[in-house]
Structure 1
Amino acid sequence: MASAVHAQANWPDRPVRVIVPFPASGATDLVARVVTQRVAADLGQQLVVDNKPGAGGTLGTAEAAKAAPDGYTLLLTTSSTHAISPHLMPKLAYDPRKDFVPVAHVADAPSVLLVTNSLPAKTVGELIAYAKAHPGKLNYATSGNGTIVHLNTAAFSAQAGVEMTHIPYKGTALAIPDLIAGQTHVLFDSLPTGMPHAKAGRLRALAVTSEKRSTLAPELPTLAESGLPGYSSVTWFGVYLPAGAPPALVEKVHKAFAKAVQAPEVAESLAKLGVEPAAPRTPAQFGAMVQADSNRWATVIRQHKINID
């Protein structure tokens, strides 16, 4: 016991492995590298990003769950593995609540609601009115069944009381040309991917999905202020330790990441990725946020009978 306490007190006295359960050069990987580079500089110890992609992030997450809870293996992941996949993949090799300890909320990536220019709607209210006046006419593009793009649109449709036809693509990059051409009508996309098309006049941006206006596109209203009160959705990025990690260690890791996220240069680098630093939260508050997110997506998935067959 004394040696364990001593090890925690000296953390980190050797390199720390940070499992990212998604491919290199993807959004989560890039966020992880920005943040861990700053954490490493602050701690004077190397943090090594270890990409373990596969099965929508669940393979690497399962591997992290089996690691020793000593602070030398961390998981930096997104809402996908902890708030969405558990409701789409019932045979997961991990339990997001039982196998992990929430440590730090790192960043959020809001989405933007885009429409094709051939639609007359210039506001969210006008889009909803048009969809209701033309039932069955509109369709929406997504990056595939069960993705955050799909869930965002399903939640929007349910709250707005509209019906649109789902057109899944293998990624939003493939969906954009058809949206520009008017073959599809609606798409929720990331800000870095979608906003250049809106600013160039090829598409129309109506709102962002975050609870508050995004610092990355402050001119756009939120969906909540556009007639859908309470609508809030972001892809969050967070750090976890395997279950069993001592509270003192959790707090130490939390403080390291919370400090890094507040650094101006980190915020600047994240902004280039379409990501905003997370508001300060304790580990317990982060865990509660994730659970609320999970409950919300469970309801959307169940109501819309969404699966990933």
Structure 2
Amino acid sequence: MTRLAFTLAALLFLAHPLRAEPAYPQTTIRIVLGFSPGSAPDVAARILAERFTAAWGKPVVVENMLGAGGNIAADHVAKAAPDGATLLMAGNAAIVINPSLYAKLPYDPAHDLVPVAQVTIAPNVLVLNKDVPAGSVRDLVELARRSPTALTFASAGIGTSTHLAGELFQTMAGIKMQHVPYRDSTALLSDLVAGRVTMFFGSIASVLPLVRDGQLHALAVTSLRRSPAVPDLPTLDELGFSGFDASAWFGLMAPAGTPAQIVGMLHDEALKAVTAPAAREKFVALGMEVVTRTPDEFATLIRNEAPVWAKLIKQVGIAPIQ
């Protein structure tokens, strides 16, 4: 009787096996970003998309969702199902700057999103109009002190890394310059070359061709390490601005609650994607450096950076964007 019961139980188990977790991914993956097609983070997103498709055999779509300094894209992903089907190629602005810059955000980066993989860093370069009489950062600071408020610095908009780099620079240097925000990068560079604005903390990709043509003069980079794209340029940290770091970074994030296994799979494939030789070449051409931080290391970076920018934004009195 006991043997019969055991046999029946075994047959029932085989008829109703334990359900295995469905394999990931089950459907199309979307990588959403708040940047234009062809931009540095867009290139990064498409490199990841190509790798994910090759690894898992599922289509991956890159969706450019512009507006509100990256907030619209971040909010969309924050409210998506935590199943790994909707991902965010985030820039540091939407994650560590905008929470202090905007009066109210529809999402909370610290609670609504989880870090997957920081993939690139894009240092900015301090460039001057070629006629500015300053051959070094020290010369520039002395010039600003002799002519208070006479110098201007352009930016790609309030709260961008190009704006906050300028604010951090004048705060650390003890000088005052007039901020001139632009909506159009073409107009910004045209005015800079023409001398209508003094200086700009611009991306390597946008300013380096003008530097090489002799139309702009480069003084330093804003990252803690020298950039491989311009190895002869010192960092501001080297020049006495201790700890100066005002680079843009980009990384993959997912909705909070995404299973750790899926986060791990995405991180591993993202790492393979960005460290491939062809990808590195593309990033170097755009003035970007590959980063290989783990999800926990990426989370630590976010926790450390957010209060730094919050303090600067409050210190310089940037009015909250409504």
**Alignment TM class, shorter chain as reference:** over 0.9
Deviation, structure 1 residue 38: 2.6
Report the number of matched residues: 304
Q: CA deviation at 1:267?
A: 0.8
Q: How far apart in 2 are the matches of 1:272 and 1:44?
A: 29
Residue equivalent to 2:196: 183
CA distance in 1, matches of 2:35, 2:24: 26
Distance 1:173 1:228 in 2: 30
**In structure 2, what is the Cα distance between the partners aligned to 1:136 and 1:72?**
50
Secondary structure in 2 aligned to 1:153? helix
Pick one of 25, 45, 49 that aligns with 2:62: 49
Change (3 A) 1:24 1:180: closer
Question: Would you say 1:34 and 2:47 are equivalent positions?
Answer: yes
Which deviations, in whole Å up to 9, do the C-alpha atoms of 1:45-79 show, x marking residues without a partner? Answer: 32211222222221121111111111111111111
Q: 2:318 aligns with which of 295, 306, 309?
A: 306
CA distance in 1, matches of 2:54, 2:312: 41
Letter in 1 for 2:247: V
> How far apart are 1:34 and its partner, in Å?
2.3
Q: In the TM superposition, what is the alpha-carbon distance from 1:213 to its structure 2 partner?
A: 0.5
- 1:197 pairs, out of 207, 210, 227, with 210
Distance 2:261 2:254 in 1: 12
Tell me the amino acid that sits aligned with residue 304 of structure 1. Answer: V
Q: Which amino acid aligns with 1:248?
A: Q
Q: Deviations over 1:233-273 (max 9, x none)?
A: 21111111111112222112111111211111111112222
In structure 2, the residue matched to 1:242 is 255
Compute the TM-score of the two structures, normalised by the length of structure 1. 0.93
1:66-215 paired onto structure 2 within 5 Å:
66-215=79-228
- Amino acid aligned to 2:313: I
Rounded Cα–Cα distance in structure 1 between residues aligned with 2:33 and 2:148? 42
Code of the aligned partner of 2:144: A
Identity %: 39
**SS of residue paired to 1:225:** coil
Amino acid aligned to 1:286: F
3-state SS of the aligned residue for 1:23? Answer: coil
AA paired with 2:42?
D
Shift of 1:215: 0.9
Alpha-carbon deviation of 1:306? 1.3
The residue number in structure 1 matching 2:21 is 6
1:86 shift after superposition:
1.1
- Partner Cα separation in structure 1 for residue 196 and residue 232 of structure 2: 27
| Residue ranges of structure 1 left out of the alignment (5+ in a row) | none
CA contact (8 A) 1:38 1:266 kept: no
In structure 2, the partner of 1:296 is 308
Report if the CA contact (8 A) 2:47-2:273 is conserved.
no
Q: Which has the larger radius of gyration?
A: 2
Q: Secondary structure at the match of 2:31?
A: strand
Contact 1:75–1:241 (CA under 8 A) maintained in structure 2: yes
Q: Aligned equivalents of 1:221 and 1:171: distance in 2?
A: 28
Say which SS state the counterpart of residue 313 (structure 2) adopts. helix
| Unmatched 5+ stretches in structure 2 | 1-17
- Counterparts of 1:266-305 in structure 2 under 5 Å? 266-278=279-291, 280-305=292-317
Task: Tell me which residue corresponds to 2:234.
Answer: 221
Are the aligned partners of 1:34 and 1:269 in contact in 2 as well (CA < 8 Å)?
A: no
Q: 3-state SS of the aligned residue for 1:6?
A: coil
Letter of the 1:151 counterpart: L
Deviation at 1:88, TM superposition (A): 1.4
Q: Secondary structure at the match of 2:43?
A: helix
Q: Secondary structure at the match of 1:149?
A: helix
For 2:34 and 2:158, the matched residues in 1 are separated by: 20
